[in-house]
Amino acid sequence: MGYTLNFNLIWRHFDKLSGGLLLSLELALISIAIGIVIGLVLAVWYVSAGRVVRGVIAAYVEFIRNVPLILLVYLVFYGLPTVIDVAYSAQTSFVATLALYSGAYLVEVFRSGLEAVPRGQIDAGKAIGLTPWQRLIHVRLPTMMRITLPALSNTFISLFKDTSVASVISVPELTYGAQWINFNTFRIVEVYLVVTAMYLVTGYVLLFALRLVERWYRTAR
């Protein structure tokens, strides 16, 4: 034993952590924004498509869901540029990966949401003469959003935690900041205690904020 906690070195390098946290949030936000677009487009396509398209979309979803995120990150960052002639920063590479990753999960979320829209509402949309596109925009998607918003919030929060994987390709987000401080100060317990608290508090704040958004959305008029 004989280990004395000393947080002074952590506070001295706290900018690594605060900056890292902001970058983590940014990575999660951009990724889920793109992921929502991917998820929505593919889910809408899926429910109206034939077997071939469904098969392709299902294959994408299954592939992503069954491969560990860290492997996807390696594949996109190290693998892809050696096969095809592309160059991108670690950060861009990670956002692309996380967007594809969240997109696959969100296809499932949105697809089940679309299928849960009561048939009666679609009938009502038909009965007043809405075209299929109008029914999608004005009836099915708003109802689907109400159904899927809690799942969407949960996806965002786990995505926020998943941004820690970006540290393996040296994206200076929160976990990377922790590793940097650890390597330079050897205050391993302190730094990971602080970082854990930061993830925890941020996660809770996000959850709380998203629940407020959900409640607002349910009663908005």
CA-based end-to-end distance of the chain: 61
Kindly state the smallest distance separating residue 97's Cβ from another protein, in Å. 34
Residue from 15, 62, 115, 123 touching another protein (CB under 8 A): that is 123
Residue 84 binds another protein (CB under 8 A): no
Q: Contact with another protein (CB under 8 A): which of 12, 138, 211, 215?
A: 138
Q: Which residues of 171-192 are buried (b: 16+ CB within 10 A; e: fewer)?
A: bbbbbbbbbbbbeebebeebbb
For the window 94-113, what string marks contact with another protein as x by the rule CB under 8 A?
A: --------------------
Q: Which is nearer to another protein, 12 or 138 (CB)?
A: 138
| Shortest CB 134 distance to another protein, Å | 5
Between 137 and 205, whose beta carbon lies closer to another protein? 137
Tell me: does residue 139 bind another protein (CB under 8 A). Answer: yes
The yes or no reply on residue 50 touching another protein (CB under 8 A) is no
Cβ atoms of residues 182 and 188 within 8 Å:
yes
Q: Which two tokens stand for residue 126?
A: 């038909």
Q: Which of residues 154-213 bind another protein (CB under 8 A)?
A: none
Cα separations in angstroms, 75 against 80, 82, 93:
6, 10, 10
Rule CB under 8 A: say whether 126 interacts with another protein. Answer: yes
Strand, coil or helix: what is 186? coil
Which region among 43-51, 92-100, 136-144, 148-156 touches another protein (by CB under 8 A)?
136-144
Closest to another protein by CB, 89 vs 134, is 134
CA distance 77 to 88: 8
Q: Does 216 bind another protein (CB under 8 A)?
A: no
- Whether the CB-CB separation of 122 and 132 falls below 8 Å is answered with no
Q: What gap in Å lies between CA 69 and CA 97, rounded to an integer?
A: 8
Token pair, residue 67, equals 């491969």
Check: CB of residue 148 under 8 Å from CB of residue 113: yes
**Site membership for another protein, residue 219 (CB under 8 A):** yes
> Applying CB under 8 A, what is the total number of residues that bind another protein?
22
Binding site for another protein (CB under 8 A): 118, 120-121, 123-132, 134, 138-139, 142-143, 146, 219-221
